[in-house]
Structure 1
Amino acid sequence: MPSFLQMNDCLSTRNGHLYIEECDTVELVKQFGSPLFVFSENQIRENVQRFQRAFQNGWPDGPVKVLPAAKANWIPAIQRILASEGCGCDVYSEGELTIALEAEFEPSLISVNGVPKDEAHIYRCVDAGVRITIDSLEEVPIIERAATELNKVAHVRLRLKPALPGFTRHSDFVGEGLVPTDVAALVYKGGLTFDQVMEVAPRLLRTKNVELVGFHQHHGRHSRMLEYWEEQMRQFAREIGRVCRALDGYQPREIDIGGGFPIPRDPFNAATDYSEPLQLAALQGISNLLKVFGKGVRYRVLASLIDLFETHPNQTPAYSIEEYAEVCTRTLRQELLRHGVSLDGVMLQLEPGRSIHGNAGIHLTTVKSIKRMTHPIRWTYVIVDTTEFWFTGGRYEHHLHEYVFANKVDHPLVGKADIIGRSCYGDRILPIVPIPDVEVGDILAILDAGAYQEVSMSHFNAIPRPASVLVHGRQAELIRRRESEQDVFRRDVIPERLQRIRNRVPSEEKR
């Protein structure tokens, strides 16, 4: 059995083909075209239910609500699935708020995060009755004014910014490089310091049309290690206790711990090898030394070394939802009680994104060309009809996805190749990976592509973006159509004066 099938999710193999739920992925490509995003409804529901059960088991004091992050996959059909599960929704932008309201999430379970929030957005939030997570001092007077003018109560939470001094390992965010997590968390824009909280919290408690319902925090996916989550909860509880004491015993009704939980085959930042700077330095030194042996020897040796260095460094599966839930709830409860915060009836909220959607989606793409170079370096390129620009989040965050050839799941791996996309960029989707005996027309399935990938696609090279399909058992339904060339250019406007300009061929070329 291939290792990727040992995760007990929506994928299986039958007669050498990859299935998602009860649908043959090869047949899906025949029906809907290639490339294609495919999402499993049952996997999304199962992920939500596991989070709900696991956190509720560890939080006996009050209700638990899962508020999946819309940013991870805001396709309206998928948001409808989440709403039907009784979830809330974590939104950031005006557009995400529109999707959440149209999906009919309970407004009190819509968490509006982000900074800055403009005035129109805040007015709409107050009018809709959603939770506004205050993340800047400038929001407060606008919220007060909106509540007064609309004659409605604004329900708000304060986003705290607990420091993480107990976790100094490097951050998994590529943009942070080798920066320690505690430093990366401090310099991130989100959250209010204790002094900023105390500047606005007493005012909020005095304001007639504003109700402070609790606290929020979100540090995100700096690490998959349990120690990181333990430190988050410890410091969040400490900060809540500190604020409550300063507010003469205020007791929150809601506590939102944010998200950032990984999935088992987590592709996020999996391509980053933190020994890479040393490897590159060694490779450069060896390259210079090999010049004395001539270019033939130098190229052969360097090709072997590159193959050796191009590893998959982060292949250890992440912890389970249940393990993250246990450490989060145990630590948070213990520390809140230690700091004098009552838990009686307190609603615990969490905002997972990639851990709801990641393993519920795959990307199917067709092999269009196979190029082999034998001299001066042996190299094989398998060129497919997708592009890394449809994996934009992965491109910038060094994702490394598991993959399988969907029509050759049980074929032996007989060589190595770069999986290359169709754009004019290098488009190295999967570098130097084992492959079976690949032929033009084979279907490659890129796994764990359900979070951030589809919703962050770009129009690089003016290529129309692919379709998305939702499967439910044997049923497959289109939930986002394939774009046409007209779709690519639909926002463009050519000023009238430029429309009158015609190509001017230089006189010497005319002759």
Structure 2
Amino acid sequence: MTLHVAGLDAARLAQAYGTPLYITDARRLVENVRRFHAAFQRHWAGPVRVLPAVKAGTAIALLAHLRTVAEGCDLFSEGEYEAALRAGFAPGAVSLNGNGKLADPGFIERLVRDGARITVDDIGELDAIEAAAARAGVTASLRLRMRPDLGDDWTASDFLTECLPVFIASQAYKAGMPTADLLRAGRRILASAHMELTGLHAHFGRHRATVAYWRAAGRATACEIIRCLDAWGGWVPREIDIGGGFAGPGDSVGRQAPRSFAIEALALQALRLLPRQGRERVTAALLRMARRHVPAAQPPAAPPTFDAYAAAMTGELARGIGNRLDLRRTVLEVEPGRAIFTDAGCHLARVLGVKRQERPLPWTWVITDTSTAFLPDANTEKCRFTVRTDPARPATGTEVVDMTGLTCDADRIVGDVRVPAGMAPGDLVVFENTGAYNEQAATNFNSLPRPASILVDDGGPRLIRRRETVADVLARDVASDGASDGASDAASDGAGDGASDGADAGAARG
């Protein structure tokens, strides 16, 4: 038995494409979209559209696969819009969200001219949109993004960067229009000859994975919709978009961080009362004790099913709207990101070395050729990715290690993970459930070239993004004082590195 990813031999993939390597299973991605659509359609009286969040995975080849099962997509920027068009999505099928539209009036002109659906995030966007529509002699198709009040929810948000309860964290998020602006914006659009209000939009984000959280979201959305219907007498939305934020299979947001911060802080304060040697002995003993209880394999979290989410959200939404709308004629749109991308992607890396220490504290680091710079959700969302190693490798027992990267940062990708004892340079490691956001948010920290990306479908693996070169990393630098930046020479020297990735792809199909 050897290490496999997406049904393929990991060693052959590493030989063909190099490491580190992003891998997306197109079959899993497409299946997730189908399951998501089926779940929401079961619980909604009218039509349902699934609009995958492009920000979770922007490769054009990947979007082209999504287009076979999704009627549209959720976008945020001109770059994402261009990628969606190149993948074959129609402008009228997208949802262009976010307040970034204000940064470039030319982009608004393009959206209006193309007939794209614009989700208005800020009342200040309306001047530019109306003027662009008047100049083009068209009617701009608009939806308004609401800020529904989730109520008095003081449970902790899973977004640990906020360290806030859901109520405050959801209010701190900038997106959407405050209710007063929302009602004014609706009245203005309905009075305009150049703008049409087609629907309402809300997005709560992944504060909690629980069904109770999504019931509250459904109630809050319905309440805000009723408020709009009361203010804009006679207006009927053609579509209601409830955004994304749903957890999916393999979700690991927040699992990297300890849940016992307060208790640990008190214990650390108590240790300060001991002399240094005593502190070290007690701490080392506690570490060894804790590591004895690390499981051989930590399964990913098991969030509610797509069906459970759909029943909770749409049930409360429909109850709250009541007979104010004929939901059989109202399109429900959903914009999943993590829910469909997470378990469709993994990351293949190679061990560079293993470092062990006994004093003053026992620690073992497995250093890989990847990094949290390439898997940023390990830091930003405290994701605890599932780690797999080669099952065929001889091992005498197991040990608990920190799986780390190659940058000058702490670069702790997954801490306290149990792996076969005696891992060595050259061993392959798979980080699972990395398919959402990691490649899109990867950086060039330490001037490292970003990894290649492949897509696996029924035809086998194929390169969809080449590996960057050092020349790519330095290409934007502008030379000063007459010195050559060397970009042209370096680009020609390194051109073969990216182009050769995948030359032996056929061998990886075993």
TM-score (norm 2): 0.89
Displacement of 1:389 in angstroms is: 0.8
* Candidates 230, 233, 250, aligned match of 1:248: 233
Alpha-carbon distance in structure 1 between the residues aligned to 2:377 and 2:322: 39
Q: Which amino acid aligns with 1:153?
A: T
Residue 217 (structure 1) aligns with: 202
C-alpha offsets along residues 426-473 of structure 1, whole Å, 9 cap, x if unaligned? 111111210113222111000011110011111111111111111114
Counterpart in the other structure of 2:69: 85
In structure 2, stretches of 5+ residues that fail to align are 486-510
Deviation at 1:63, TM superposition (A): 1.4
Question: Aligned partners of 1:17, 1:77: CA distance in 2, in Å?
Answer: 26
RMSD: 2.3
1:201-248: CA deviation from partner (whole Å, max 9, x where unpaired): 112112112110010000110100101111111110111011111111
- Whether 2:398 is the aligned partner of 1:414: answer yes
Alignment counterpart, residue 324 of structure 1, candidates 309, 322, 326? 309
In 1, the alpha carbon distance for the partners of 2:440 and 2:425 equals: 28
Q: 1:280 to 1:295 in 2, by over 3 A?
A: closer
Q: Corresponding residue for 2:52?
A: 68
Matched, 1:40 2:45: no
Cα deviation 1:130-161 (Å, max 9, x = unaligned): 11111111111111111110111100001111
Residue 239 of structure 1: which of 224, 245, 251 is its match? 224
Aligned residues of 2:250 and 2:342 also touching (Cα < 8 A): no
The answer to whether the aligner puts 1:367 opposite 2:345 as a matched pair is no
- d(CA) in 1 for partners of 2:445, 2:58: 21
- Report the Cα distance in structure 1 between the residues aligned to 2:123 and 2:180, rounded to whole angstroms: 11
TM-score between the two structures when normalised by the length of structure 1: 0.89
Quick one: structure 1 residues 308 and 283, their matched pair in 2 at CA, closer, same or farther if it must change by over 3 Å? farther
Bigger Cα displacement from structure 2, 371-380 vs 360-369: 371-380
Contact 1:134 1:159 in 2 (8 A): yes
- Which residue identity is paired with 2:113? D
Match of 2:461 among 464, 476, 483: 476
Checking the alignment, whether the CA contact within 8 Å between 2:76 and 2:100 is kept in structure 1 is no
Report the Cα distance in structure 2 between the residues aligned to 1:441 and 1:393, rounded to whole angstroms: 25
**SS of the residue 2:415 aligns to:** strand
Q: Contact 1:419–1:428 (CA<8 Å) still a contact in 2?
A: yes
Contact 1:167–1:231 (CA under 8 A) maintained in structure 2: no
Q: How far does the alpha carbon of each residue in 1:285-343 deviate from its partner, in whole angstroms, 9 at most, with x for none?
A: 12x244276576345335436748999999641111111112122221121115x2332
- Which secondary structure state, in structure 1, belongs to the residue aligned with residue 62 of structure 2? helix
Amino acid at match of 1:223: R
Are 1:291 and 1:298, in contact at CA under 8 Å, matched by a contact in 2?
A: no
Distance (whole Å) between structure 1 residues aligned to residue 277 and residue 86 of structure 2:
68
Look up the match of 1:29: 14
What's 1:155 paired with?
141
Q: How is 1:424-463 mapped onto 2 (pairs within 5 angstroms)?
A: 424-437=408-421, 438-463=423-448
Aligned to 1:185: 170
Alpha carbons of structure 1 residues 274 and 146: separation in structure 2 relative to 1, 3 Å: same
User: Does 1:142 pair with 2:116?
Assistant: no
Q: Distance in 2 between matches of 1:44 and 1:80?
A: 12
Alignment check: 8 A CA contact 2:22 2:453 kept:
yes
Count, aligned residues:
481
Cα separation, 1, equivalents of 2:253 and 2:202? 21
Please tell me whether the aligned partners of residues 413 and 434 of structure 1 are also in contact (alpha carbons under 8 angstroms): no
> 2:156 matched to 1:170?
yes
- Residue of structure 1 in register with 2:94 after alignment: 110
Q: How far 1:98 moved relative to its partner?
A: 0.8
Give the structure 2 partner of residue 491 of structure 1: 476
Structure 1 contact 160–239 (Cα < 8 Å) conserved = yes
From 277, 280, 283, the counterpart of 2:262: 277
Aligned partners of 2:350 and 2:369 also within 8 Å: yes
Change in 2 beyond 3 A, CA 1:241/1:220: same
SS in 2 for 1:121: helix
Alpha-carbon separation, structure 2, partners of 1:389 and 1:72: 16
Within the alignment, does 1:304 sit opposite 2:283 as a pair? no
Is the contact made by 2:378 and 2:414 (CA closer than 8 Å) also made in structure 1? no
Cα distance, 1:410–1:270 mapped onto 2, change above 3 Å:
farther
* Structure-1 residue corresponding to 2:499: none
Does the 8 Å contact 2:76/2:97 carry over to 1?
yes
Q: For 1:212, what is the secondary structure of its paired residue?
A: strand
Counterpart position of 1:7: none
Q: Deviations over 1:407-438 (max 9, x none)?
A: 54896851111111111111111112101132
Alignment-derived partner of residue 503 in structure 1: none
Distance, in Å, in 2 between the alignment partners of 1:473 and 1:289 is 62
Q: Secondary structure at the match of 2:225?
A: helix
Contact 1:272–1:313 (8 Å) recurs in 2 = no
Structure 1 position 371, deviation (Å): 1.4
| C-alpha distance in structure 2 between counterparts of 1:313 and 1:335, whole Å | 40
* Residue pair 2:256, 2:415 contacting (<8 A) in 1 also: no
Quick one: distance in 1 between partners of 2:480 and 2:55? Answer: 34
Cross-structure match for 2:109: 123
Matched letter for residue 85 of structure 1: V
Instruction: State the Cα distance separating 1:498 from its structure 2 match.
Output: 5.6
Residues 23, 473 of structure 1: 8 Å contact kept = no
Identity of aligned residues (%): 35
Residue 506 (structure 1) aligns with: none
Identify the range of structure 1 (269-278 vs 475-484) with the bigger mean alpha-carbon deviation: 269-278
Amino acid at match of 1:447: E
Residue type of the alignment partner of 2:121 = D
Q: Structure 1, residues 75-97: CA drift from partner, whole Å, max 9, x if none?
A: 11111111122331101011111
Q: Deviations over 1:354-400 (max 9, x none)?
A: 11111000000011111122333332111111111111233222111
